[in-house]
């Protein structure tokens, strides 16, 4: 993950929670039902969790409150500081989806919200390959992120956002690596995961992949 990208998230750390709360009209639909989306991920999770893209610690807080063990990975120093202030007992490491430490405890669930799209499709493939080696049979990946049903859905979404005049959101959708459910399904199946998808709002899908 590039330094410029990490610096952007360092700057965003001070206003991130306001953005996800739905106060920003341009991103309101992206973060619609944000709290419910986090709860959905928690409900699908096991007991020993590896969380990528911790951000300010919103999901971590919910996981910890349920008595789960959480190992967090977050590349932004600003985000890490906010997350640790909220969750002093959180085990948090500098790292990303592809570069992270090994853990003594056996991970049963890998989770992430609003972050997997920062990887190219090739990087997503490389990441899932690592996770397939980390997880035992019945171990799970539970990600919630923006994705497209198919390429036509992608085009229609971009046109709609453009017509709404949401140019910052349009730029994000065009420059980040949001992919289709078909691409994601192929990646998960390639590494022996059974995967299912559930639409949680107009943008976000829940991806639940279980290791065979």
Q: Do 70 and 63 form a contact (C-beta atoms < 8 A)?
A: yes
- Check the annotation: does 74 bind a ligand: yes
E strand spans, the chain: 48-52, 69-73, 91-93, 109-113, 140-146, 193-199, 204-211
8 A C-beta contact, residue 26 and residue 87: no
Is the separation of the CB atoms in 114 and 206 below 8 Å? no
- 191 with 129: CB under 8 angstroms? yes
Residue 96, annotated as binding a ligand:
yes
Whether residue 53 is annotated as binding a ligand: the answer is yes
Q: Which residues are annotated as a binding site for S-adenosyl-L-methionine?
A: 53, 74, 96
Residues forming the annotated binding site? 53, 74, 96
């Amino acid at each position: 993950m590039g330094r410029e990208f990490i610096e952007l998230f360092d700057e965003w750390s001070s206003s991130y929670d306001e953005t996800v709360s739905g106060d920003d009209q341009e991103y309101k639909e992206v973060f619609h039902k944000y709290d419910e989306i986090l709860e959905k991920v928690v409900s699908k999770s096991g007991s020993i969790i590896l969380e990528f893209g911790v951000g300010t610690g919103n999901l971590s807080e919910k996981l910890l409150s349920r008595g789960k063990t959480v190992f967090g990975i977050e590349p932004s120093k600003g985000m890490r500081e906010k997350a640790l202030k909220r969750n002093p007992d959180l085990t948090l490491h500098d790292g990303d989806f592809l570069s992270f430490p090994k853990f003594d405890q056996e991970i049963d669930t890998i989770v992430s919200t609003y972050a997997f799209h920062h990887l190219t499709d090739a990087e997503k493939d490389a990441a899932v390959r690592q996770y397939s080696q980390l997880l035992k049979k019945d171990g799970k990946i539970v990600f919630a992120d923006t994705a497209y049903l198919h390429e036509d859905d992608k085009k229609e979404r971009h046109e709609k956002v453009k017509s709404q005049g949401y140019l910052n959101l349009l730029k994000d959708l065009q420059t980040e690596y949001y992919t289709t459910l078909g691409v994601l399904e192929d990646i998960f199946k390639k590494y022996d995961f059974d995967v299912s998808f559930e639409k949680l709002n107009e943008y976000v899908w829940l991806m639940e992949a279980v290791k065979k």
